[in-house]
Amino acid sequence: MEEENVVQIKDLYLNFYTYDGVVKALDGVSFGIKKGEILGLVGETGSGKSVTSLSVLSIFVPPGRLQKGQIDINIKGKKYDILSLNDATMARVRGKYVSMIFQEPRAALNPVYTVGDQISEVYFHHRKAELVDNTIAQLREDLKKASGLRRTIYRADLSLLEKMKNNPKSVSLRLSMKIPLLNRFQNRIKTEARKMIVQMLKSLNIPDPARVIDMYPHELSGGMAQRAVIAMSLACNPMMLIADEPTTSLDVTVQAQILLLIKDLQKKFHTSILYVTHDLGVVAETCDRVVVLYAGNVAEIANVFDLYKKPLHPYTQALLESIPRPGHKFISIRGIVPSLVDPPKGCRFYDRCDYTQEKCLHIEPQLVEVEKDHFVACHLHYGGS
Ligand code: SF4
């Protein structure tokens, strides 16, 4: 694993077992995500973008099944293979270290809970200790100003909160949580969580966050709902964020605001972002480096300037040429993505490529660094293997 990589995906093979046959959706995908960068993952529908990004969270939706591969994550200088972690450990990694913004914000939010309820769930799951500490600090302040009966009540609350901090499994604490007169300290924790959520919503430029926190998803506009989802994914300040086409369902002006917001957040929190999209315009504006996927293979990896200035893979060239430009004839990539049930033996792009050679039909091109930090999988650039 390269030192600066937060996540390193190595030789990922994933199949879908369908009635029509075994779909070889990922065929040896490898790339790394550096600390603090925005890495674009681009390709057509069916190229394997979403399954690759879900693999980083160790989520394999049936009938998808991982065949082999390794995904190393670097947490505080220690390396872990995500794919070998058990469910309980993985549940701690998700949300806390790696988080995801889903494509359709309304589908990602639960319609029967308020925004605040849904975000607080993340705080209670991953940041409970911090919540309890903040509540204790606030209660100590309140205690200084209190007198008489109020002081006695605050003291009782404080003692239960300290028990919660030092011995959360104690029987007396669990009993107190069930007795209405004694469980007031839990309301204090909820108030503290609310304060933290309002602060988070404010940092995402959500107007009137104290009102939005009590709203249900159907009361929010598309842009606001996506901001709420972003707030949820950032609640634990994760070291890596996967943004799976986060602006696809939004109109252009809101899309621009969300893109700006994601860039700002990356600068502010130094979060590494895997930005999944098929929109090369968004990639040019947002990303530092780009991974181009085609039919489950990595076709090219380069920094965003090199990729747009000098694309090496014929598929990347065709993708860039197919961006609509005013005054230019629209050029689409001819043909369709091959069936991955029975993919071509050599290069998976050969029947759509203008430069096909004999060896492209039989020999699978390997991903090779042909210029500094510029990798390509094409026989044109290294003479084949
Ligand atoms: Fe085209 Fe051959 Fe390169 Fe594939 S390996 S992109 S078919 S030139």
Q: What is the DSSP secondary-structure string of 190-254?
A: HHHHHHHHHHHHHHTT-SSHHHHTT--GGGS-HHHHHHHHHHHHHTT--SEEEEESTTTTS-HHH
Closest ligand 1 atom to Cα of 354: 1
Which pLDDT value is given to residue 8? 97
Q: Is the CB of 1 under 6 A from ligand 1?
A: no
Residue 347 Cβ inside 6 Å of ligand 1? The answer reads yes
Both 181 and 125 in one domain: the answer is yes
- CA 271 to CA 34: how far, in whole Å? 10
Given 143, 165, 199, which residue is the final one in a domain? 199
DSSP 355: T
DSSP 272-340: EEEEEES-HHHHHHH-SEEEEEETTEEEEEEEHHHHHHS--SHHHHHHHHTS--TTS------S-PPPS
Q: What burial letters (b/e) apply to 101-132, b meaning 16+ CB within 10 Å?
A: bbbbbeebbeeeebbbebbbbbbeebbeeebb
Q: Which atom of ligand 1 is nearest to the CA of 347?
A: 4
- 54 and 195: one domain? no
Give me the number of domains the chain comprises: 2
Report whether residue 380 contacts ligand 1, using a CB cutoff of 6 Å. Answer: yes
Domain boundary among 166, 199, 232: 199
What is the whole-number distance in angstroms between the Cα of residue 370 and the centre of ligand 1?
A: 15
Ligand 1 neighbour 368 (Cβ under 6 A): no
- Cβ of 379 closer than 6 Å to ligand 1, yes or no, is yes
Asked whether residue 52 falls in the same domain as residue 191, the answer is no
Identify the H or E element spanning 150.
Answer: helix 148-166
The answer to whether the CB of 356 is under 6 A from ligand 1 is: yes
Question: Is the Cβ atom of 360 under 6 angstroms away from ligand 1?
Answer: yes
Residue 233 in domain: yes
In a domain, 383, yes or no: no
Give the C-alpha separation, 217 to 114, whole Å.
7
**Is the CB of residue 290 less than 8 Å from the CB of residue 273?**
no
Residue 3: exposure state from Cβ atoms within 10 A (0-12, 13-18, ≥19): exposed
Residue 130 lies in a domain: yes
* CA 299 – ligand 1 centroid, Å: 10
Q: Which of 333, 347, 385 to mutate to test the pocket of ligand 1 (most atoms within 8 A of CB)?
A: 347
Q: How far is the CA of 83 from the centre of ligand 1 (A)?
A: 32
Q: Give the residue numbers spanning the domain of 134.
A: 117-199
Last residue of a domain, one of 263, 294, 325: 294
Asked whether residue 177 is domain-assigned, the answer is: yes
Residue 334 lies in a domain: no
- pLDDT at position 265 is 81
- Whether the CB of 365 sits within 6 Å of ligand 1: yes
Find residue 29's DSSP bridge partners: 12
| 194 and 53 within one domain | no
pLDDT of residue 293: 97
- Whether 150 is covered by a domain: the verdict is yes
Instruction: Check residue 384 and give its pLDDT.
Output: 44
**Per-residue confidence (pLDDT) for residue 385, from 0 to 100:** 44
- Give every residue of the chain whose pLDDT is below 70, as ranges: 1-3, 383-385
Q: Indicate whether 160 belongs to any domain.
A: yes
Asked if 93 and 134 sit in the same domain, the reply is no
Q: Is 355 a pocket residue for ligand 1 (Cβ < 6 Å)?
A: yes
SS3 156: helix
| Same domain as 229, residue 100 | yes
- From CA 217, how far away is CA 160, in angstroms rounded? 35
**Same-domain check for residues 106 and 44:** yes
Is residue 100 located within the same domain as residue 247? yes
97 and 141 within one domain:
no
Q: Are residues 52 and 176 part of one domain?
A: no
Please tell me whether residues 139 and 167 are part of one structural domain. Answer: yes
Q: Clarify whether residues 39 and 105 are in a common domain.
A: yes
**Residue 368 near residue 382 (C-beta atoms within 8 A):** yes
pLDDT given for residue 300 in this prediction: 98
CB 234 within 8 A of CB 101: no
**Is 354 part of a structural domain of the chain?**
no
Judged by DSSP in three states, 1 sits in coil
| CATH assignment of the domain containing 231 | 3.40.50.300
